[in-house]
Amino acid sequence: MDLGVIIGLIAGAALMIIGIVWGGGNMRAFFEPSSIMITIGGSFASLLVGHPFSRVMGILTYLRLTLRPAKFQEERLINQLVTFSEKARREGLLALEDDLEELEDEFLRKGVQLVVDGTDPEIIKNILYSELNQVQARHQIGIGLVDDWAKQAPAFGMIGTILGLIIMLARIEDRSTIGRGMAVALLTTFYGAMLSYLVLGPMRKKLEDRDNAEMLVKEIMIEGVLSIQAGDNPRILEEKLLCLLPPRRREEVRQVGAREG
């Protein structure tokens, strides 16, 4: 569970409530069912118009991904690839076939299997990068869907504002309708901004972070597999893979390797 998402949402909502109460506002005045219907319902309906039905129905799956912190364990991955390199140089590439069943990541298993099968390095590179591009394309579909919703929410907030003003002006002689019309007009804009800037926009950024983290891991796997196939020295392989990590993470890799060694 990504506590940052939970804390951020709760803190954002709490600060809005505190601001309303502290400013002397009435919380009941900020609950307007028609504004919610226009903003959330209308913006969601626009997704149905612009995206396949099955994709829109799966949006909760994308949003749940924002609550899952990445657990790729790059440190252990690099040390695992170094271990494979040492074994391949000592016993030959075919010896890695014994370790295939232990690999949980399908992408890495495919790469090692191609090496064991004696596939040409250029073909291995093309296959793995094609797979990588497909994974990223799937990620971008989810990111784009959430991004579209984030953009549509304020737009439907403005639509609600226009509707509220029309209601108010159409019955301007009936003063009892002015308050409700103004409430719909202003609250839909408020709901649209909150939905976009507190919920959907930040979640889109979280999905981008998840995508970047997985792409980094896949790059490490590809570089490792190709280096093993080329017969690179394990120490050189380790340094090549460490270059893909931020400096502060490199020492962690060395510490993990020292413990496991």
| Candidate ranges 24-28, 67-71, 174-178, 206-210; pick with highest mean pLDDT | 206-210
The pLDDT value given to residue 257? 54
- Listed in sequence order, the residues at least 6 apart from 58 whose beta carbon sits closer than 8 Å to its beta carbon are none
The pLDDT value given to residue 90? 87
Please give the share of the chain, as a percent, with pLDDT higher than 70: 94
pLDDT in tens, 101-160: 888 889 999 999 999 888 898 999 999 999 999 999 999 999 999 999 999 999 999 998
For the cut 80, the answer to whether the pLDDT of residue 260 exceeds it is no
Question: Band of the pLDDT at 221, cuts 50, 70, 90?
Answer: very high
Question: How many helices (H) and strands (E) would you count in the chain?
Answer: 12, 0
Please say whether the beta carbons of 201 and 63 come within 8 A: no
The pLDDT value given to residue 127? 94
Question: Band of the pLDDT at 259, cuts 50, 70, 90?
Answer: low
Average predicted confidence (pLDDT) for the chain: 85
For the cut 60, the answer to whether the pLDDT of residue 179 exceeds it is yes
Please give the share of the chain, as a percent, with pLDDT higher than 90: 33
Q: Give the span between the Cα atoms of 86 and 89, in whole angstroms.
A: 5
Please say whether the beta carbons of 192 and 45 come within 8 A: no
Amino acid identity of 220? Answer: I
Please say whether the beta carbons of 81 and 112 come within 8 A: no
Q: What is the mean predicted confidence (pLDDT) over 11-17? A: 87
The pLDDT value given to residue 192? 92
230's tokens:
């080329």
CA nearest to 117, candidates 229, 219, 232, 237: 229
Which pTM does this prediction carry?
0.81
- Listed in sequence order, the residues at least 6 apart from 163 whose beta carbon sits closer than 8 Å to its beta carbon are 38, 184, 185, 188
Residue with tokens 């196939």: 229
Say what the alpha-carbon torsion angle 184, 187, 189, 194 is, to the nearest 10 degrees: -150
Helical ranges in 99-200 per DSSP H: 106-116, 121-170, 178-194
pLDDT in tens, 46-81: 999 989 998 898 888 888 888 877 777 788 888 889
Question: Band of the pLDDT at 23, cuts 50, 70, 90?
Answer: confident
Output the CA–CA distances (angstroms, integers) from residue 124 to 109, 127, 131, 184, 240, in the order listed. 12, 5, 11, 59, 18
Q: Give the span between the Cα atoms of 10 and 1, in whole angstroms.
A: 15
Q: Give the span between the Cα atoms of 82 and 228, in whole angstroms.
A: 8
